[in-house]
Structure formats: structure tokens, C-alpha cells
A and B are shown apart, each in its own frame.
Chain A
Amino acid sequence: MSGLRQKPTPGWLPFLPAAWLVVFFLVPFAIMLTVSVAHRVQGGFYEPGFEFDSYMRFFSVFFGRILLTSVLISVGAAVICVLLAFPFTLGLARMNKRGQTLVLVILLSVLSLSEVIIGFSLSTLLSKTAGIGNLFAALGVTEESRAYTPSLFALMAGMCYLALPYSVLVLYPPVSRLDPELGEAARMMGASPFQAFRTITVPMLRKPMMGALILVFVFTLGIYLLPQVLGQPQHWTLSVHITDQAIFQSNLPFAAAMAVFLLLVSLAMVGLSLLLGRDKGGGA
């Protein structure tokens, strides 16, 4: 050996992720937990304490229904997003490099649009007076213009618009790495293009698809503005109610308790989907 052995990275580097996890996740989460068991002062704010009143308030048919609504809406958005993103990404991977870069840049620029802009743009686009209803009426598809918002459809459109780029970005790397010879091999062995897609492409991309589903699910679970702008009261998700409690009712213990519960539910859903999507005998 000649000279000192140079380490390419400093030894403390591996601890950095752990430190970040503590600072940016565990500490805020601990604060949230503490607040969730604090004592709510009616007409005031809250004072330190240890009680489960906020959690007890949550366990009701009313909030159970809201939780179910939130989960169903997010699951719906996740499924729709992945169903749209999957063929889109397959097509994208077949484009030439310049085309791919262009599409990816456009997708990334969509990410820069905020929930507010998307929500208000869609509510205008789907409105009776300034929206596509006029176009349909002008084309004679419908007798007269009508509003398509607020509705579940409008809410889903907004959520999917917001989350679609993420699902494409999750799917893109594995899809572009997929060896085209695999599909050709299937064709040579007698599989029609659709059979090859069903028996080879889809199973091989099951894990990334699961990843995209989970990402969109968790992501849309936290959306609180779109349901207010595009949805009817029955589509107001738990996130909307958390916002109401935190901002308008100043009931931080209750808001925190609901947030803790939302976190637990999303963790449970992620765990469940990982369990269901587990590869039977180790992957590629």
C-alpha cells in the first residue's frame, strides 16, 4: 500500500439520513402526538395534558364515514392514475430520446402548478358559464350548457391531474429499463401482442405499479383544497376536516388526533398493499 487510504465519503455520512429522519419526521410526529393528547380549552386554545378525548371524539359513525370516503377517494385516484400512467409510460419509453425528454420536462412543469391553480382552473373549465359545457352545447352534444362541478368527477379529475405526473415518474425508470426482447420472445412463442402484454409486461412491472399506487394513494390522502373547491360536502375528506379543525376551530388537539389516525391508516394501507403485492419467490 502506498500512501494513506482515501475514503471516498466521510464516515459520518451514513448517519445523515437517520438524523434527517429524526429532525424532519420523528420530531414533528412527536409534537403532533403530544398535541393530540393535550387538553382542548373550549373558547381558548389548548394546554398540556394527557387525555384521549380528541381520539374518542373521532370514533364516531360520522368520522368513520369521512375516513371511509377519504380512503375510497384516494384508492380511486390511485387506480385511475396508474391505469392512465401505465400505457402512457409504455408509449413514452418507445419514443425517441428527444421526445422522451420533452414529455418528461412537460410533466415536471405540471408538477410546478399548485393545488390552488389546478383546483380553480378546473372549476372554471367545468363551469356552466365559462367551461366545456358551452362547447358541448355549441356542438349540439347537450341541449344547454351545464356545470360539471362540484362533483366526484371534478374532484377525481383534479386529483388525477395532480398525481398523474408522479405515477409516470415512478413507472418511467423500470418501464424504460424493460428489455424489449422479452416481449419479442413472448411473440416468438406464440403470444399475441395483448397476451405478451398481459403475461410478461404487466407481471414484470407489478412492483413499480404497486409503488405508484401507494404513492398516489398517500399523496392524494393529504390533499385538502381540491375537495373544497371541486367536491360536494360529502366528498370532503379527512384532510379537509383536519384543516377546518386546525385553522377555523383552533382545535389543534383534535386536528392532531385526526392527523395521527390518518397517518396510521395510510401506513396500514401501504403495509396491506405491500403484503398483497409481495413477490412469491423473490424477484428479478
Chain B
Amino acid sequence: MMKRREFIASASALALGTLAAPTIARAQGTSLKVGTYGGYFEESFKKHIYPDFTAATGIEVDSIAEPTGEAWLVQLQQAARAGQAPADVSMMAQVARIRGERAGLWAELDRGAMTNVDNLPEHFVHAYEDGRFYGTGAVAWYIALVTNTDVYPEAPESWAALWDPANENSLGLLALASNSFLLEITATTHFGGTDILATEEGVLEVMNKLAEVKPNVRLWYRDEGQFQQALETGEIPMGQYYHDVTGLAAADGKPVRSTFPKEGAVLDSGSWVVSKASDALEASQVFIDYMSQPEIQSKLSRFVGTAPTIPRDMTDLTDEEFAAVSSDLPPILPRYELYVDKADWVNQKWSEIVTG
């Protein structure tokens, strides 16, 4: 089973990271240290991407497995204070990226030296408020509406299926506001877009709408594996899940399907950023620039299963290859700032209204 985002495992990593970091200080060598989420991502990059990168640029890559969640951010932060960079380039989740941005943790990059960055859409080009460029989208994936094909012979067309009384006690949804993006899904499905989430009143209104799905929810999951297994057996026949992983399971013969609802699927992503303590800035820029090339993005889609961060027409993906990882429908873009600026408030209200 493919488990890319091991939330539970990161618990211990966080505790260690908080108390014992920085410990991953290494001698700054000639190679570039690149951090990706430990497990599937790190292995795939080591296998499919780094060797070609080294061949093309002559820069050796020292691959580092990072914990997901906030733990890596904390480690980078504490290491930077000591002038250390456990990794030069890191793949960061969006909330962590924004937190790092607020803390001024990311090194400014020279966009002029990175021509391929122009390929990326605006939401994958990250800059400080004053315009200083510091990072790009690295990989993207969709959270889509998934169903068990034995239980649902017809694919649902809309996220509205979550609210359908016919689906009582049969949904598996992610347990937290900040990783399920159910607020964005609800806002798009019932309130015409995510703009309503700009105010607290709007967020509460959306939450109350979302709370209506509670009778349908069998499992609020934090661990992916738990839901995937239940989905495959039909135990929990509907829910939100990763589009690519579901596609792989279906290709494996499992009775599951992933659907892009007409409102769009949630596009979540990880981004490349460089620690300000890194002394391999140039090599880092070369790496990020390299990763933004259409052929590399196509390769990622084929071998790692991520959605390309560049427009489809720049890639050479076939329809089938493209459909396996993405969709032409406009995606639902998460409002990450909500989970940075109002994190505690959203979390508290979420606990009270939605899962409480």
C-alpha cells in the first residue's frame, strides 16, 4: 500500500524534533541536500529523478527523508538559528511553507537564473510580501471524491453526494480542517466558491453546512491506510481521498474509483524552498529550475504519480496518463492562509461544530 503522508508516524518525529533538534548537522559538502517526505516520495525521487539530475548538471544529490507535518519546519528553523541547514532544498507542505515565509526562513532566489520557473502558474510561484521570490511548486496531487464500484455502480457527479441522506453512515473523511479542505469543498459546492471563507462569519456558515454531513460520516480518518482499506473492501464505500493512489488501487484490480466532481477536486501541493542557512544557493536554484522543466514534470507524473505543476499543454502526457493524475476541470484551491492566520480558531470551531 502506498502511504505517502504518514501523519501518525510524524508524532514521534515531532516530539524528537522539538526537543532534540538540530541533530542532522552535516558537513557542507559539494553535493546538494534535498529533503522530500520520507517513504514513497523520497524513494521515487532517488530512483527516477536524482540520477538524471546529476547526469545533467554534475551536482550530486544527498537525499534526505523529512517527516511530514510541521516537524521538518521546526527542525529547519532551529537548525537555521545555529547556522545549519539539514537540507538545502526542502519539499514543504503549503501551511508549513507559509509559516516559514512569515518567519523569513526561506532564502531569496534569483528568478532571473531560473528561466523554467516561468512555466509555472502563479499559484506555484512563491514570493515574500515585498516581492522577493523564494520558491516554487514541487509536486501536486488531487483530493477527489472516491467510491467503491461494487457499492456505487454509478460514479457520483458532485460533492453534493456527501450530503445525500442515502449515504448515511458510509463516508470516510479526513479528520482535520487543515488536511481535508472540506471547508473549501463545502464553500465551492454550496456557496459558489471559497470567497465566503474570507470572514469568520462565512467560515461558520460553511461549517454549519458541513456539519449536516455528520450522520453520513462513518470514519473521520487521520491515517490514510485505514480509509483506503475500508474503501477497497466496501466497508466505507465513499469519501475523499487521493486521486492518484485511488487510481493505482483501481489499476491493481480493487473495486474503487476516483471521480473529479463537477465542482472540481482539491489541488494540494508541496513546494520547493531553500533554507536561508544553506550555502548551496546556486546549486539549489539549478535544482529547482531543473524540476520546473516540462519533461521533468511529465516524468514525475508518469513515475511518481503527481499532477504536473505546469499547464497540461506544456507536457507530453497522453490523455490516459494525464487523467491518471489530474483533470482539466478547474481545481478547488485550498485557502492555506486560513490555516495559518486563524489556525487555532478554525481548529476549535471545527472540533466543536464539525467533528464534535
Q: Which residues of A contact B (CB under 8 A)?
A: 31, 40, 42-45, 57, 62, 116, 120, 123-124, 127-130, 147, 150, 225, 228-229, 233-234, 236, 241, 243-252, 254
A44 lies within 8 A of B102 (CB): yes
B235 lies within 8 A of A129 (CB): yes
B176 lies within 8 A of A42 (CB): no
A236 lies within 8 A of B233 (CB): no
A252 lies within 8 A of B18 (CB): yes
Does B299 interact with chain A (Cβ within 8 Å)? no
Choose from A120, A150, A252 the contact partner of B218 (Cβ within 8 Å): A150
Collect the chain B residues with CB atoms within 8 Å of residue A254's CB. Answer: 344
Choose from A120, A128, A228, A229 the contact partner of B235 (Cβ within 8 Å): A128
**A247-B14, A249-B344 given as contacts; is B234 within 8 A of A31 (CB)?**
no
A68 to chain B, nearest CB (A): 14
A147's nearest neighbour on chain B, judged by CB, is B235
A120's nearest neighbour on chain B, judged by CB, is B226
A-B contact count (CB 8 A): 95
Stretch from B3-11, B183-191, B198-206 at the A interface: B3-11
The 9 closest A-B pairs by CB, nearest first: A43-B340, A250-B70, A233-B355, A129-B233, A129-B235, A127-B235, A247-B11, A248-B176, A249-B347
A44 lies within 8 A of B10 (CB): no
Q: What are 16 inter-chain pairs, A to B, with CB distance below 8 A? A: A40-B344, A43-B99, A44-B99, A62-B352, A62-B356, A116-B8, A124-B229, A127-B230, A150-B219, A228-B221, A241-B351, A244-B176, A244-B351, A245-B347, A249-B178, A250-B74
Collect the chain B residues with CB atoms within 8 Å of residue A243's CB. Answer: 11
Collect the chain A residues with CB atoms within 8 Å of residue B74's CB. Answer: 45, 250
Given A45-B73, A228-B221, A249-B343, 8 more contacts at CB 8 Å? Answer: A42-B340, A42-B343, A42-B344, A43-B99, A43-B341, A229-B226, A244-B176, A251-B344
Does B103 interact with chain A (Cβ within 8 Å)? yes
Measured CA separation A85–B90 after assembly (Å): 51
B98 lies within 8 A of A225 (CB): no
A228 lies within 8 A of B14 (CB): no
Measured CA separation A128–B150 after assembly (Å): 14
B148 to chain A, nearest CB (A): 10
Does B175 interact with chain A (Cβ within 8 Å)? yes
Does B40 interact with chain A (Cβ within 8 Å)? no
Does B30 interact with chain A (Cβ within 8 Å)? no
Measured CA separation A62–B341 after assembly (Å): 22
Measured CA separation A120–B355 after assembly (Å): 21
B234 lies within 8 A of A129 (CB): yes
A62 lies within 8 A of B69 (CB): no
